């Protein structure tokens, strides 16, 4: 149970912060960078939810509500990811003694990806981030989730035994889900803006 009674403590004024294990590390620690990036990605999901729920958001109302509901579930999961990364796995740790991301959470994302992707047409080019406001926010969330994934991979390389590999898998699938959701927010891909390789070169040609 989390209970916050004071917002500032001054305990981090020396550049150190506490991990879930109780140990203190520099705020520039690779582990802090990983779960800090997850927090950043989570905040971007909040922006995407607001965009999906905004009056006049592109697409059907029910679809926008569905996307917002799915994103809220992902936000809760991302707090799990952050809590997991904040607490290094200790030697001899008993299963269930700490909050850890599970394979089931990753599998749930895969089911959501498959369900949404079934309504989309095949792509003939890469998609430029944008379209509707909701789609643009979802693409931003996708890129920030990718950054969190890279930071977590970097942590896992350095502290493999102390890092749950499922956190990496979860972040990877979440970024894939956000891509699919962005296409759904663009009227199931109808408003996707596709990459045209070299377009500005041909338009600016003197020939």
**pLDDT of 3-21, one tens digit each?**
666 666 776 667 867 777 8
> 2 pLDDT exceeds 80?
no
Domains and CATH numbers, the chain: 24-91+98-118+127-196 (1.20.1200.10)
Residues in the chain: 207
Average pLDDT over residues 93-103: 93
Give the confidence band of 140 by pLDDT, cuts at 50, 70, 90: very high
Percent of the chain beyond pLDDT 70? 90
pLDDT score for 61 = 77
Residue 38 — left, alpha, or beta (φ > 0 → left; ψ -120 to 50 → alpha)?
A: alpha
Report the distance separating Cα 116 and Cα 96, nearest Å: 32
> 108 pLDDT exceeds 70?
yes
User: Quick check: 184 and 63 in contact, CB under 8 A?
Assistant: yes
Distance in angstroms between the alpha carbons of the first and the last residue of the chain: 69
75-94 pLDDT tens trace: 999 999 999 999 999 988 88
Q: What is the pTM of this model?
A: 0.90
pLDDT score for 170 = 98
> 58 pLDDT exceeds 90?
no
162-175 pLDDT tens trace: 999 999 999 999 99
Tokens of 188: 């199931």
Contacts for 96 with CB less than 8 Å, ≥ 6 apart: none
Average pLDDT over residues 23-46: 93
Position with higher pLDDT, 117 vs 92: 117
């Amino acid at each position: 149970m989390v209970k916050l009674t004071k917002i500032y403590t001054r305990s981090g004024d020396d550049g150190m912060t506490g991990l879930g294990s109780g140990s203190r590390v520099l705020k520039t620690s690779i582990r802090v960078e990983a779960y800090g990036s997850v927090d950043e990605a989570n905040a971007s999901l909040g922006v995407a939810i607001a965009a999906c729920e905004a009056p006049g958001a592109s697409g059907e109302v029910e679809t926008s509500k569905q996307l917002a509901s799915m994103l809220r579930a992902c936000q809760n999961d991302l707090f799990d990811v952050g809590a997991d990364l904040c607490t290094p796995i200790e030697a001899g740790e008993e299963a269930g003694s700490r909050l850890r991301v599970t394979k089931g959470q990753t599998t749930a994302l895969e089911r959501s990806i498959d369900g949404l992707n079934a309504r989309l047409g095949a792509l003939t080019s890469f998609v430029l981030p944008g379209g509707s406001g909701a789609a643009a926010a979802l693409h931003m969330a996708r890129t920030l989730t990718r950054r969190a994934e890279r930071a977590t991979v970097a942590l896992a390389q350095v502290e493999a035994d102390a890092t749950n590999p499922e956190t990496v898998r979860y972040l990877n699938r979440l970024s894939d889900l956000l891509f699919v959701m962005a296409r759904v927010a663009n009227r199931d891909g109808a408003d996707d803006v596709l990459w045209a390789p070299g377009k500005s070169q041909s338009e600016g040609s003197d020939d």
